[in-house]
């Protein structure tokens, strides 16, 4: 079973920030938080990951709470091409299980 | 650079027929390998994963089996397909330790 819970769907206006939440209240100390996204009929694409500290790359920012029980993926300026299903998973080494994810729809 | 190949992209098979989907990885050694299935409109269900040659962990009991005959080859098989085996099958690999996963483009299987 997945160790994360995410809202099933969210909408975001084009050009605005998209903030996608994820709860992982049972995360253990050595588990990382990973985010992937899946555009229809394609394989998931890695976005970002982190352990304790907030992370930023060219695609997104990852904010992890101090107690590590939840995190937020931020797409700073959402475009129509960001419409996808976003998966948050917690993982250590070979255990890699996905939940249902959040379907983000970016609207013009 | 590392790449992952998965084929075929689409497959239509009759009920009761056998199945063999192949996944190969290039540019890395000793990867962790994974097979997932995705039903229409659903999330990814982990079917099998392997941390080494001949080592297969099954997550869900089903009509499918997996094998890893070589370090960078992962095969998903069935002796007799069921209608419920229809779905989108994805192969993935990761390096040792907590690194990101890379997915193949998937095989859309329709059992008729």
Query: Residues of B with CB below 8 A from A36's CB?
Result: 101
Q: How far is CA A107 from the centre of its chain?
A: 19
Q: Region B7-31: what's the mean pLDDT?
A: 94
Binned at pLDDT 50, 70 and 90, residue A1 comes out as low
Q: Check whether B97 has a pLDDT greater than 80.
A: no
Picking from A4, A44, A45, A48 by the largest number of B CB atoms within 10 A of its own CB, the best residue to mutate is A44
Give pLDDT tens digits for A45-83: 999 999 999 999 999 999 999 999 999 999 999 999 999
Distance CA(B15)–CA(B111), nearest Å, equals: 6
Compare CB distances from A96 to B46, B96, B105 and report the shortest one's residue: B46
Q: Region B63-79: what's the mean pLDDT?
A: 95
**H/E run at residue B32:** strand B32-38
| B10–A contact, CB cutoff 8 A | no
CB distance A38 to A44 below 8 Å: yes
């Amino acid at each position: 079973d997945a160790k994360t819970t995410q809202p099933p769907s969210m909408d975001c206006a084009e050009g605005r920030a998209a903030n996608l939440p994820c709860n992982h209240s049972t995360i253990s100390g050595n588990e990382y938080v990973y985010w992937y996204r899946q555009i229809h009929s394609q394989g998931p694409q890695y976005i970002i990951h982190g352990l304790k500290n907030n992370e930023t790359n060219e695609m997104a920012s990852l904010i992890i709470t101090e107690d590590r029980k939840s995190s937020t993926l931020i797409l700073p300026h959402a475009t129509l091409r960001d419409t996808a299903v976003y998966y948050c998973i917690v993982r250590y080494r070979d255990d890699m299980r996905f939940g249902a994810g959040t379907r983000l729809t970016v609207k013009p | 650079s590392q790449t992952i190949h998965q084929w075929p992209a689409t497959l239509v098979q009759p009920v009761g027929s056998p199945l063999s989907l192949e996944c190969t990885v290039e540019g890395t050694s000793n990867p962790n390998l994974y097979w997932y299935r995705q039903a229409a409109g659903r999330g990814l269900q982990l079917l099998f994963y392997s941390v080494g040659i001949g080592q297969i962990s099954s997550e869900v009991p089903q009509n499918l089996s997996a094998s890893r005959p070589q370090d960078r080859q992962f095969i998903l098989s069935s002796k007799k397909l069921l209608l419920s085996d229809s779905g989108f099958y994805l192969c993935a690999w990761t390096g040792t330790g907590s690194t990101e996963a890379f997915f193949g483009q998937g095989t859309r299987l329709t059992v008729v």
